[in-house]
Amino acid sequence: MSIKATPTAGAKLLTPTDHTLVMIDFQSQMAFATHSIDAVNLRNNAALVAQAAAGFGVSTILTTVAEKSFSGPMFSEITEAFPGQKMLDRTSMNTWEDAAVIERVNQIGKPRIVLAGLWTSVCIVGPALSALDQGFEVYVIADACGDVSAEAHNRAMERMVQAGAQPMTSLQYLLELQRDWARGDTYELTTGIAKKVGGAYGLGVTYAQTMFGAHEG
């Protein structure tokens, strides 16, 4: 049986319109005990994900746990990307057990869930396994998650992957939403985010554009 290739994207690749991004518990109290990733990288990667989602119009849920009484506000890098968006505050560690969050998930109605947040082994594992159990496809942005130790983060990622979740990174998320440099309407958005919070890749874009007038398209 012969197989014929076609110039089309694989069905497992994300698009801006096929998923709901849920950003969970990016809060001060949660970050204090996070040691699997340093706070600077965590905040930078969270900003990258938030700016990518906002720029591409991805349906996004922002949720906190005990914001006023214990855990503090969500990182400003995230809230500034979604000005005026309502924060869904919870008492449950598992976001998927919160009725207000699930009501919003159902209102949006997308079959794929993308997760990022703190901590990987609790607040990400909970909704990942719960959503998978209910038939959703689940993606986890691994470097926009963190835990109390590298061991805790790694074992949590393994557990979710074994259950069927698909791991990815923050920069991968941005570039997967763009996916083709010929898409001129989002070219400046994508390279602009990369230059601001895309680390060494963003520096390379800045250098190429400034020194040579280079353009990926």
DSSP string of 41-81, one letter each residue? HHHHHHHHHHHHHHHHT-EEEEEEESIIIII-PBPHHHHTT
pLDDT of residue 203: 86
The pLDDT value recorded for residue 202 is: 85
The CATH homologous superfamily of the domain defined by 19-179? Isochorismatase-like (3.40.50.850)
Rounded CA-CA distance 140/142 in Å is 6
pLDDT value at residue 124: 98
Q: What pTM did the predictor assign?
A: 0.94
pLDDT of residue 169: 98
Domain with CATH 3.40.50.850 in the chain: 19-179
What is the pLDDT at residue 34?
96
Tell me which residue of 165, 164, 75, 67 sits closest to 115, measured CA to CA: 165
pLDDT at 14: 98
Q: Provide block-wise average pLDDT over 10 residues at a time, the chain (217 residues).
A: 92 98 95 95 97 98 86 93 95 97 98 98 98 98 98 98 98 97 94 92 83 71
**What pLDDT is stored for residue 217 in this prediction?**
64
